[in-house]
Every structure is written in C-alpha cells, then in structure tokens.
Structure 1
C-alpha cells in the first residue's frame, strides 16, 4: 500500500496546488506529505513536481502520471462505495458546505432524522455566506443557491429559491409605499455584497441602480437590518417567511417578477458519489419539498 499512499498524496498536491492544503485534505502533517511525494519520485526516478517557495505545480511527466493516478484512486473509491452499498449502515464522516442561513433553517433540521437513521455517520457542516470551494475545503458535497452552477461540477437540483423585496412596516410608514421599481432609488436599500444584489437590483425585467445605506456579507445581518427598519432588502423568500407571516416584514412590489434560482447539491467531478452523500441529498430534497421549496 505504500506506493498507492504516495500516489494519493501526489494527486492531492496537484489538485490543491500546495502541500499545506493537501495535508489538510489527507489529515496528515505537511512534512509527511512532502516526504511521501519525494519518496514516490525517488522510487520512480522521475521528478513529478516543480517546487518554488511560492507554488508547486506538476512537471510534464507529473501531469501524465497524475491522470493515471487519479483514475486508480477513483477506481479504489468506487470499489469502496460498492462494498458500502452491501450494508445499510452508513458510517464515516460527511463534510457538507452550505449557505449560512440556509444551513440553520433547512440542513440542521434535516440532520436530526438523518443521523437518527444512520447513527454511525458523523457530519462536518461548513456554513458560510461565500460559496465553498469543494476540492480546496475537502467537501463531499455543497449546497449552492444559484441560477446555474458551474459546468465543471456534478449537479442535482433539489429545490428552488425566489428573491423578494421586503421592508419593516415602520420603515414603510415613515418612508412611504412604492408602486414601481423605478421608485427604489427614492428609498433606503440594504445590499448583500456576496451576490449581485448590492448596487443593482433586478425586478420586473429591469435592472435598477441603488445606493445601499448598508452593505453586508452575512445573510442573518441582511434579515436583521430589514427587521430593524433600515430600509428595503432583497432577500430569498425562505429567509423571511416567518417574519412575513408574523407581520414583522411586508413584501413590496409583489406584482413584479423577480429572479428565481435553483437549490443545487453539487459534487466534485473527481469524487465518487458515495452512499452517504446520496442518502443525505435524498433526505434534504424530501424535506425541501415538504416545506414548499421542492425543485418542482
């Protein structure tokens, strides 16, 4: 198994572009990864990586060797997954990336029943407003809420998400109602910096330029700012459904069309879809459908 271990370390270095990131993926010390790859080069009698103080990249021979090694590792992972399917018990650790507020409202509630059904399985949940980098962060899957995911990912659409514009009743009482998208420029707006909804808002087939009184990169802060009456906010409907029902927020310009995105489960193309990933995505898709966010 020593040559294969060296191959896996080499493949992870090429994929992540650094020994440090590869060591995190493999849960090894950086020095161990470096020594393992160097030992592999010595056994082969070929230099596989060009190393500098700032970067590491494969040589021409390394690129060809990488393609072969990756196929071997994928075959080994496929064999492991096939063996796992012979047993109903899922085990190991599943690492999931997801948007922060979506994770707290949908993924965490789904985990209760999922983990009860699979007690030998553990979850690492990486919740962030920014899109998680699957390979760099060692994720088994990520949940993305976008119009269309990147072509280099394996994708399953499991839900939908529509943007609406909301404000606190107290803000509207002071600032006045608005009847057309063009009137947005006369109101205080709250922008969400990770997405296009910061200085430009799309509604009714038009793109309106606004000057946000507040820009935030965190989803819960966007919701809190709207509830506090700071102005209008363009938010996913699922983020504020409870506040709308309670009357703490009011939807405006409801007669105008706003963009709808998909909720996607995405996986790295170089990683096999394991039974644990498939089972969790099936569970989450059922939960989203039961809560009115199904893919349709």
Structure 2
C-alpha cells in the first residue's frame, strides 16, 4: 500500500490549488497534507508542485501524474461511498452555513429536527451574512437567498421569499402613503447593506436607489426602526409577516412587488453526495415546500 501514500493528498491539492482546501476536504491538517505530498515527491524522485506563498500550481510531471491518479482516487472514493451508504444511518459531521436571521428562524430548528431523526450525525452550523467559500471552509451545504452568483456550485431550490415594503401606521399617518415608486424620494427609507430596492413595474424588474437617516446591515435593527415609525423598509416577508399581522406594520406599494426569489441549498459538484448531505437537503426541501 506504500504506492497510495500521499496520492489522495496530492490529488486534492491539485484539484483545489490549495493545501488548506485540500486539508479541509480530507479532514486533515495542512502540515500533514504537505508532509505526505513531500514524501510522495521524494519517493517518485520528481517535483509535482510549484509552491509559493500565494498559490500552488502543477509542474509538467505533476500534470501527467494528476491525469493518471485523479480517476483512481475518484474510483476509490466512489467505492467507499457506495459501501458506507449501505448503512441504514447517516453519520459524521454535517457542516452548514446560512444567513443569520433566516438561519435562526428556519434552518436551525429544522436542523435540530434532522438531528433527532439521525442521532449519528453531528451538526456544525455557522450563521453568517458573509458568503463563505464552501471548499476553503469545508462546508457541506450553504443556504443562500435570492439571486445566485457562483455558477460553479450546484443549487437545489428549497422555497421562495418575497420582498415587501412596509412602514408603521403612525409614520404613514404623518407622512402619507406612497402610491408610486417616484414618491419614495419624498420619504425616509431605512437602508440596509445596499441602498438599492428592487421592484417590478409593468412586468419588468426595476432597481431604485433610496436614502434616509438610517443605514444598518442588520435586518432586525431595520425592522425595529420601522416599527418605531422612523421610515419605510424593504425586507423579506419572514422578517415582517408577524408585524403586519399584528398591525405594527402596514405593507405599501403592493402592486410594485418584485418577483419572488429562490431559497437555495448550495453544494459543491460531487458525483455521489454523502448520505448525510443528501438526506439533509431532501429534508429541508420537504419541510420548506410551503
């Protein structure tokens, strides 16, 4: 088996162009991966990788060796995965990331129910509004909202969200209710991380730049400001639905609602998803179907 030592590590580094990403994929450490690759190079008597502080690239010999070894490693991984998926229970650590508020309200509770069904699965849940790199962070599934940017990932649609413009009744009584998009310039708009609100007008999407006294990157804080009567806010419905139902907020500009956006489970391309990842995505899709 000496011929296999370092091969998986080399193939992972070659695929991702990074010792860190390779270590995350293999569940190892950068030091161990680097040592195994160095030992492989010594055994073969050739240099497989060009290493700099900024990037890792293949030598000519490395390209040839990678072309021959890649399919062998994939075949071994597929064989192992086929056997492990024969187990009735998925197992191992499931690494998930999701936006903070949506994650707290929906993803975390559903993940906890998933763990109750599958006691051999452990959860590592990172709630952040940053778009994390799945490979570098070793993440199995990312929950993303709205328009997707990275076309290299695979996405499964879990549900939809709707952006709503709302204000407190007291604010509307004092300042009037806007009837057209042009009238927004007369109002205090509570601005989030971007100062562009999205609408649909006569069947076409429209982006409108807004301004106001308050700018904040927290939807919860903007919701509180809107309820306090400080201006109009545009937020996804899961932020404001309860407040609208209670009368604390009132939706405006309903005829200009933007098209509904997707809620996605995103993961890296893989011919065979592990049981825990496949079952978790299916569980989310079924639970969020409504």
| TM-score, with structure 1 as normaliser | 0.85
> Quick check: 1:104 aligned with 2:101?
no
Greater mean alpha carbon deviation, residues 168-177 or residues 65-74: 65-74
Rg larger in structure: 2
> Quick check: 1:137 aligned with 2:171?
no
Unaligned runs of 5+ in 1: none
- Call closer, same or farther: CA 1:169–1:71 in 2, change over 3 Å: farther
- Call closer, same or farther: CA 1:55–1:247 in 2, change over 3 Å: same
Corresponding residue number in structure 2 for 1:90: 90
- Call closer, same or farther: CA 1:33–1:253 in 2, change over 3 Å: same
Pairing 1:1-296 to 2, within 5 Å after superposition? 3-4=3-4, 6-148=6-148, 150-193=150-193, 197-204=194-201, 205=204, 206-270=206-270, 272-289=272-289, 292=290
For 2:169 and 2:3, how far apart are their aligned partners in 1?
A: 66
CA RMSD of aligned residues (A): 2.5
For 1:139 and 1:250, how far apart are their aligned partners in 2?
A: 39
| TM-score, with structure 2 as normaliser | 0.87
For 1:9 and 1:171, how far apart are their aligned partners in 2?
A: 61
Report SS of the residue matched to 1:251: strand
Contact 1:74 1:270 in 2 (8 A): no
CA deviations 1:48-96 (Å, max 9, x no partner) are 2211233322234334444544433333332233223322211111111
Aligned residues: 287
For 1:178 and 1:163, how far apart are their aligned partners in 2?
A: 17
Unaligned runs of 5+ in 2: none
For 2:68 and 2:76, how far apart are their aligned partners in 1?
A: 13
CA deviations 1:162-204 (Å, max 9, x no partner) are 21112233332333211111111111222332xxx52354342
For 1:212 and 1:172, how far apart are their aligned partners in 2?
A: 15
For 2:243 and 2:3, how far apart are their aligned partners in 1?
A: 58
For 2:217 and 2:71, how far apart are their aligned partners in 1?
A: 39
Contact 2:197 2:208 in 1 (8 A): yes
